[in-house]
Every structure is written in C-alpha cells, then in structure tokens.
C-alpha cells in the first residue's frame, strides 16, 4: 500500500489516461535555443523515466512577436517539427506523455516588436508594446492555432495554452492592461473573448483526442486584477470551449508579492485553486510551492485539486515520482525554492540547472558511471561541497571517508536554515544525511583532521569552507560586537538596536533573522497578512485592501555597506527584491557608501565617501559583523608543505561569491572525474 494513494492514482481523460496526478510544470531552460536536440530530449526523457504523469515543455512562441525574447524557440519550420519529434519520441519510449506549452508573452516580450491589447508598458520590460488592431488580433489567434497543429504533428500529446502570469492572454482580461473599447475590450465579457476564442479554435483544429490544458490566472495579485466571479466565468467558458484540464496560474510576473520563493509557505496558494473545484467538471491542477510527495498528497486529500503541478522539483530530482512510489521519499533531492540555478539563470540568458542537482540540463555531459578503479578517497569538510563529492564518489564505487569537525553535516547550511523563510534548508541537510548513509560513506563527525591523518588516501579533497573576514574596525573587540556565526549558530544575545556591517547575502539573512521572531513562512495566515494577500472572492486580484500588514520588527536594524550602490543590488535576480522588500517592511535602514571609523560603547561611528565627510554615530547596542569570508586553507597549505597533492573545492578554493550552487557543482564534477 503506497503512502500516496491520491498522488499516484491514474487520471482518466476519456481519450487517454495519465498514470498519476503529477504534472511537471513548464519551465524555460534555454536548452531549445542551443540547438542540441539530443540534450533537450534527454532532459525530458529522464523526467519521463522518473515516472511523472505528464510533462509540460518550456513555453514555445507561436510567432516572432510573441516570443519571450527575440529568437525564442517555437514550431516555425519543418526542421523545428522534426527536432521536437525527436523529443516526443524519446519521452514516449520512456513511457511518458508530454504537452507543449504555447506562450505568447505580449507586453512581457523583451523585444521592440512586442504587441499587446493596449500600449501599456510593463514595469518589467523596457519596451512599450504596440497596440494590436482587429486584424493583428486575428493573426495572433491564427498563429497560436497553427502552433498547436504543429505540436500535434511533432508528436506531442497535447498543448498547454499559457493564459496566466500576466502574459498575452491574461493581458486581455483586465483593465490594468486592456483599455480597448472594441469587441476585444470594454466589458468583462469582451475582455474574456480572446482566451475563449483561442481555446475554441485550437480545439476545432486539433481534434477531440488531444490534451488541451488552459493555464488560468486564479489570483492576479496586481491592482485591478480579475474578480473571482470573472475567474469562474472564464473557467467555465474555457471548459465549454474545449479545454481538457485547467491549470493554475498564481500572480503576474510584475506582482510585488512573492509566489514561489523559499520564503513563500509550502502550498501557499492551494486554497485558491480549491475555490474552483466543483465550478467546472474538467480536472483542475494546482501549483506553487509543492515540493514533497507528502505535501502533494495532502493537497489532493484536502480536495484542493485533481492533480498537482511541480516544476522546479523536477530539476532537483527527475526520479521524484518513482522514488515516492517505491517508498524512497527520503531519497528525493529536495528543491529548496532558491531560484539560484534555475530562474536566476534563465533570466540571465544562461542555461537552467539546479543548485541541488547540477546534472539538470547537463544530462548528456555529466554522467555518474561506475568506476573500474576504486580508490580510497578522503574528504575533509562536510558542507555542501564535501558532502556532494562524497555521495557522488561513493555512488561510483569509491571507498569514501568524510570528516568534519562539527557534529553534523551541512556546514554553513546549518546557519542558513536558522534564517526565517529558509526552513527548506532543513530538508536539504536531512537529504545529505540520507544519501551519505545510502551511498556507504564512512562519516566521521566531531573529528579534527591534521595533514598526517590523510597519508593513506589515494585522493584527498579539501572542502574546509571559509572563515569570516576581519573588517579591522577599531574597537571591534568590544563586548558589543559579534559576528554572524555568533548570532545564527551560537545564538549570541543581541540588543534591540543593531548595526549590521556588510550587506551581502549573509548581512541580509542576519538582518531578517534579527527583525523577525517567528518565521511567517511557517504560518500561512501571517505570511498572507505580511504581503497583503487577500481572498480573491472579496478583493479584486486577491490584493488585500489594507495592503501589507507586517508584524512589528523585533529590533531596530541598520544594514550598512561601503559600496555607494543600493544595498542588495547583487542578490539573486528573482529573489533580491523579496529580501529588500522584507527588510523595508520591517523598517530596516539600508545605508551604502559608508566608512567604518570606529566602534565604542555608544555604537558604530561612520563617515561618508572618500573625503570621510558627515561623521556620525549610529547609536546601537550591538554591532554584527557580516563582512564576507575568506577561504579556510590551513589544512590544504599543510598538505602542500609536506608535498601531498590534494583537490581544494568550495569556499576553501574561492570564497568570494561562494554559495552552495558553486560548491555542489564543483564537488559533483570533481567526483565524476575521480
Ligand atoms: P558577500 O556577499 O561577499 O558580502 C560581503 C559584504 O561584506 C559586502 O556587503 C561587502 O560590502 C562587505 N565587506 C567586504 N569586505 C569588507 C571589509 N573589509 N570591511 C567591511 N565590510 C566588508 O559575502 P557574504 O554576505 O558573507 O555571503 C557569502 C556568500 O553566501 C555570498 O556570496 C552569497 O552568494 C551566499 N549567500 C547567499 C544568500 C542568498 O540568499 N542567495 C544568502 C546568504 C549567503 P562592502 O565591500 O561594500 O562594504
Ligand atoms: Fe529548486 Fe533551487 Fe534547484 Fe531551482 S536551483 S530547482 S529553486 S533547488
């Protein structure tokens, strides 16, 4: 008897049956644009092999003007159809099903040729869109229909029409972006006409036995968004027009409410999808921040949806479903919702991958094969770099011993997991423990290693991490000064008025920790109040009429840096704004361009600019040093001094811009080559 009976139950769509209730949601990987179709095919085939019920591809443009960026992939030629057929064949060979998402970006297209219902520029694109005339609208419909027909020719099992997240079809639905007074705007009925027409004409063109998912925005999270009544009316009309399934979209991309970041509580929006259950008779899918089979099962048993969609979790682990089905749920590599290697890469034009699983989108390049020359491998440091090297090397058949001075594995992640909104790191550390044990790594915790201890090893890997940088501020030895390790790991006592020196990732984390007593990520209602999320049945677009209502901060915090730029500018592209907004809500003062003159009992004395102007005191009880980090190389240096070669990885190699993404990637790639 499985622990996930609902999740693993088949879903009969009449003309076809999905083997379970798990959809791999659409993600743009940038793979298609590289033209290596074997690589694209292996990416999707690996997920099909892993047991997922239905795959949705990344968004494909129906035409040039609708592409997310110039040159975005789509089915424009016979060659495109043949390339995509290669992918669908491979997925089918693995027993999977796959539908192609048709994504028309409208005013979100990063292109001077972008088109929209009205010439309303988007805040997330520099290009004002051209207003379509009636002929132009007909062309967009025709192009979407053609794209769907070509998808069928390319062997897809269906299409998903992207109608949410603020893209083209969504832009027609609301007065925020649709100012038209013709037959495509002016009243809710006319604003809905385009998506309904698209579904109707696609259905007519592709025939009855082809999956047609419509991704519908259930909570826009923007001013003047749809009312719930409009959402339900559209859903019913989309069903009547021929949709097979309705998928959930949450929030426009320009919404100022986080919808998928780590700090968003798990299944934070399943209650929204639940409101649609019973209103339509076709299956409904819910999504956002579902990342374990337990959460998926709970969402289904609570009657929130007929099926769940997960996207990023399939980057972290292609075998998610098979592992769940085989009772190996603890072995599922967890998506920690960090966006660091997926969305942040996508938006930077880089290939998508995953912090936890560097093999994602690199399936044909990094292969974990059995070694035919097993070695004794000694690894020092059980942070992300050391752990992932150990797991990978042991899986390949090497004899691996992993040492750490600490009493637990995970290194700096054990500090990160203390930060409000970063609770997902607990799951990652637990997964490390499970996989180390499964791979048969000889784990020696609470062990101080010196160079001589490593004499017998065939390969020595130093992953000893980092030490805090000393900012050398006069007076920093005083009793009112602590560093981030004292605060996050050792729970040092911190006063009510605090200055945080250094506004990097850790300075932001520490500031969040200091202003927040209990994490709202653990409490959905508190999180909704903090970000101003209301019930879409009561308030248009689900924006709470009172706006954001955060709890009062626990402390008065000033976050400082020497650079004259805006603090937090270098944080993750898709998450930096959330960290900045969180601190702003909690009244944290963010100050750039300072010199740290000295610290005394009154607080931190600073001045501004090269001329050290405007000297002033920041009167605080405690100063927390978060001034970056330096490689901890003492063991590596000792080995070198005695002539023993070693590999140095992670923070011990390069500390600047260190994060778990680089550490894990470096460790896995090293282990693959041992
Ligand atoms: P960091 O991001 O390099 O930031 C170091 C901070 O210290 C900067 O604000 C820097 O600003 C300041 N600083 C540098 N030298 C200084 C000196 N001599 N005196 C005073 N201030 C100095 O390092 P971090 O905050 O320690 O974070 C380490 C890594 O962990 C980051 O690279 C990040 O990728 C990762 N991390 C990521 C997240 C995340 O949310 N993604 C969270 C935590 C950590 P000025 O030089 O302008 O003063
Ligand atoms: Fe999840 Fe982070 Fe991997 Fe993206 S990079 S899939 S958010 S763990």
The pLDDT of residue 509:
96
CA-based end-to-end distance of the chain: 41
Residue 68: pLDDT band (50, 70, 90) is: very high
Task: Kindly report the length of the chain.
Answer: 674
The pLDDT of residue 304:
98
Residue 183: pLDDT band (50, 70, 90) is: very high
Q: Which of 44, 108, 156, 167 is catalytic?
A: 167
Is the C-beta atom of 266 inside 6 A of ligand 2? no
Closest ligand by atom to 428 CA: 2
In the structure, which protein residues have their CB atom closer than 6 angstroms to any atom of ligand 1?
469, 471, 501-507, 509, 561-563, 572, 626-629, 656-659
Phi, psi of 502 (to 5 degrees): 110, 120
Contacts (Cβ under 8 Å, ≥6 apart) of 623 = 476, 480, 481, 482, 498, 499, 500, 501, 599, 603, 604
The pLDDT of residue 191:
98
| Cβ-contact 624, 499 below 8 angstroms | yes
Is the C-beta atom of 101 inside 6 A of ligand 2? no
Ligand 1 centre to CA of 655 (Å) is 10
In angstroms, the CA 233 to CA 495 distance is: 54
Instruction: Pull the structure tokens for residue 425.
Output: 């790191």
The pLDDT of residue 1:
72
Q: Atom 30 of ligand 1 has which residue's CA nearest to it?
A: 659
Is the C-beta atom of 652 inside 6 A of ligand 2? no
Ligand 1 centre to CA of 529 (Å) is 30
Sign of CA dihedral 522, 217, 584, 659: positive
| Cβ-contact 305, 299 below 8 angstroms | yes
The pLDDT of residue 415:
94
The pLDDT of residue 34:
87
Mutate-to-test residue for ligand 1 from 579, 599, 628, highest number of ligand atoms within 8 A of CB: 628
Looking up tokens 């559209």, which residue turns up? Answer: 234
Residue 172 confidence (pLDDT) above 90? yes
The pLDDT of residue 2:
84
| Cβ-contact 451, 460 below 8 angstroms | no
The stretch 587-606 carries a mean pLDDT of 98
Is residue 167 annotated as a catalytic residue, yes or no? yes
Cα 16 from chain centre: 31
The stretch 168-188 carries a mean pLDDT of 97
Closest ligand by atom to 27 CA: 2
Q: Atom 39 of ligand 1 has which residue's CA nearest to it?
A: 505
Query: Each residue of 542-563: pLDDT tens digit?
Result: 999 999 999 999 999 999 999 9
Contacts (Cβ under 8 Å, ≥6 apart) of 310 = 22, 23, 24, 25, 287, 290, 291, 296, 320, 335
In angstroms, the CA 362 to CA 364 distance is: 6
Instruction: Pull the structure tokens for residue 5.
Output: 């009976």
Classify 214 as helix, strand or coil. strand
Nearest to 29 by CA among 338, 292, 361, 259: 361
The stretch 150-171 carries a mean pLDDT of 98
Looking up tokens 């998912």, which residue turns up? Answer: 213
The stretch 205-233 carries a mean pLDDT of 97
Q: Atom 29 of ligand 1 has which residue's CA nearest to it?
A: 658
The pLDDT of residue 522:
74
Atom of ligand 1 nearest to the CA of 503: 9
Instruction: Pull the structure tokens for residue 62.
Output: 């129906």
Residue 251: pLDDT band (50, 70, 90) is: very high
Phi, psi of 320 (to 5 degrees): -45, -55
| Cβ-contact 422, 416 below 8 angstroms | yes
The stretch 601-624 carries a mean pLDDT of 96
The pLDDT of residue 659:
82
Query: Each residue of 357-408: pLDDT tens digit?
Result: 999 999 999 999 999 999 999 999 999 999 999 999 999 999 999 999 999 9
In angstroms, the CA 215 to CA 204 distance is: 19
Ligand 2 centre to CA of 316 (Å) is 6
Q: Write the secondary structure of 169-210 as one string of H (helix), E (strand) and C (coil).
A: HHHHHCCCCCCCCCCCCCCHHHHHHHHHHHHHHHHHHHCCCC
Classify 215 as helix, strand or coil. strand
The pLDDT of residue 347:
87
Residue 158: pLDDT band (50, 70, 90) is: very high
Residue 493 confidence (pLDDT) above 90? yes
Looking up tokens 């609301």, which residue turns up? Answer: 174
Is the C-beta atom of 337 inside 6 A of ligand 2? yes
Nearest to 234 by CA among 288, 274, 194, 275: 194
The pLDDT of residue 564:
94
0.75 exceeded by pTM: yes
Residue 151 confidence (pLDDT) above 80? yes
Q: In what order do the strands lie in the sheet with 603-608?
A: 594-600, 603-608, 613-619
Is the C-beta atom of 324 inside 6 A of ligand 2? no
The pLDDT of residue 186:
96
Residue 520: pLDDT band (50, 70, 90) is: low
Q: In what order do the strands lie in the sheet with 622-625?
A: 481-483, 622-625, 497-501, 556-560, 589-591
Residue 658 confidence (pLDDT) above 90? no
Is the C-beta atom of 27 inside 6 A of ligand 2? no
Query: Each residue of 273-326: pLDDT tens digit?
Result: 999 999 999 999 999 999 999 999 999 999 999 999 999 999 999 999 999 999
The pLDDT of residue 204:
98
Ligand 2 centre to CA of 317 (Å) is 10
Do β-strands 589-591 and 556-560 pair in parallel, antiparallel, or remain unpaired? Answer: parallel
Nearest to 22 by CA among 261, 244, 276, 306: 306
Is the C-beta atom of 338 inside 6 A of ligand 2? yes
Atom of ligand 2 nearest to the CA of 341: 5
Residue 657: pLDDT band (50, 70, 90) is: low
Count other Cβ atoms within 10 Å, centred on residue 601: 9
Ligand 1 centre to CA of 502 (Å) is 6
Ligand 1 centre to CA of 100 (Å) is 41
CA distances from 30 to 71, 340, 444 (A): 11, 15, 41
Ligand 2 centre to CA of 536 (Å) is 29
Instruction: Pull the structure tokens for residue 340.
Output: 């660091």
């Amino acid at each position: 008897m499985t622990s996930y009976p609902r999740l693993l139950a088949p879903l009969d769509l009449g003309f076809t049956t999905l083997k379970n209730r798990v959809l791999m949601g659409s993600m743009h990987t940038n793979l298609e644009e590289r033209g290596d179709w074997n690589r694209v095919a292996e990416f999707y085939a690996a997920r099909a092999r892993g047991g997922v019920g239905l795959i949705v591809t990344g968004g494909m443009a129906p035409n040039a003007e609708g592409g997310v960026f110039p040159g975005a992939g789509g089915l424009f030629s016979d060659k495109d159809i043949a390339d995509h057929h290669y992918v669908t064949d491979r997925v089918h060979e693995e027993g999977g099903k796959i539908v192609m998402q048709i994504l028309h970006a409208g005013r979100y297209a990063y292109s001077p040729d972008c088109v929209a219902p009205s010439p309303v520029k988007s805040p997330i694109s520099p290009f004002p869109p051209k207003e379509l005339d009636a002929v132009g609208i007909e062309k967009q419909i025709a192009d979407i229909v053609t794209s769907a027909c070509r998808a069928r020719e390319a062997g897809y099992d269906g299409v998903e029409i992207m109608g949410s997240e603020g893209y083209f079809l969504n832009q027609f639905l609301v007065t925020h972006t649709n100012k038209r007074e013709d037959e495509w705007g002016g009243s809710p009925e006319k604003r809905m006409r385009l998506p309904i027409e698209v579904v109707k004409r696609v259905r007519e063109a592709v025939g009855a036995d082809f999956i047609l998912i419509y991704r519908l925005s259930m909570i826009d999270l923007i001013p003047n968004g749809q009312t719930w009544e409009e959402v339900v009316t559209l859903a019913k009309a989309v069903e009547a027009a021929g949709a097979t399934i309705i998928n959930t979209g949450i929030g426009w991309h320009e919404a100022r409410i986080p919808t998928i970041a780590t700090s968003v509580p798990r299944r934070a929006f399943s209650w929204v999808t639940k409101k649609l259950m019973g209103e339509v008779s076709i299956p409904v899918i819910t999504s956002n921040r579902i990342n374990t089979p337990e959460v998926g099962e709970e969402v289904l048993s609570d009657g929130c949806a007929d099926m769940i969609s997960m996207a990023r979790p399939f980057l972290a682990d292609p075998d998610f479903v098979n592992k769940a089905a085989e009772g190996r749920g603890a072995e599922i590599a967890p998506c920690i919702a960090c966006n660091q290697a997926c969305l942040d890469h996508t938006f930077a034009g880089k290939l998508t991958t995953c912090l936890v699983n560097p093999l994602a989108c690199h399936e044909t390049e990094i292969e974990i094969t059995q070694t035919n020359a097993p070695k004794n491998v000694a690894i020092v440091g059980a942070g992300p770099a050391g752990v992932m090297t150990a797991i990978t090397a042991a899986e390949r058949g090497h004899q691996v011993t992993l040492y750490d001075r600490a009493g637990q594995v995970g290194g700096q992640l054990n500090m990160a997991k203390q930060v409000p909104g970063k609770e997902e790191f607990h799951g990652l550390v637990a997964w490390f423990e499970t996989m180390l044990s499964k791979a048969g790594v000889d784990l020696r915790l609470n062990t101080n290693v010196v160079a001589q201890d490593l004499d017998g090893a065939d390969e020595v890997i130093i992953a000893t991490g980092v030490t805090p940088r000393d900012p050398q501020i006069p007076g920093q030895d005083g009793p009112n000064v602590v560093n981030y390790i004292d605060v996050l790991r050792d729970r040092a006592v911190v006063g009510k008025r605090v200055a945080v020196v250094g506004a990097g990732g850790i300075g932001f984390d520490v500031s969040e920790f200091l202003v927040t007593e209990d994490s709202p990520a653990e409490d959905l209602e508190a999180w909704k109040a903090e970000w101003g999320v209301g019930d879409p049945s009561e308030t248009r677009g689900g924006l709470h009429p009172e706006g954001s209502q955060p709890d009062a901060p626990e402390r008065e915090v000033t976050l400082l840096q020497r650079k004259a730029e805006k603090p937090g500018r270098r944080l993750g592209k898709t998450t930096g704004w959330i960290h900045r907004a969180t601190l702003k809500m909690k009244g944290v003062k963010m100050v750039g361009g300072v010199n740290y003159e000295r610290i005394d009992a009154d607080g931190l004395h600073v001045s501004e600019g090269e001329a050290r102007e405007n000297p002033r005191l920041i009167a605080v009880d405690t100063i927390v040093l978060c001034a970056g980090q330096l490689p901890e190389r003492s063991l590596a240096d000792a080995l070198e001094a005695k002539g023993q070669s070693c590999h140095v990885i992670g923070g011990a190699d390069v500390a600047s811009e260190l994060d778990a993404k680089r550490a894990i990637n470096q460790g896995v790639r090293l282990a693959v080559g041992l």
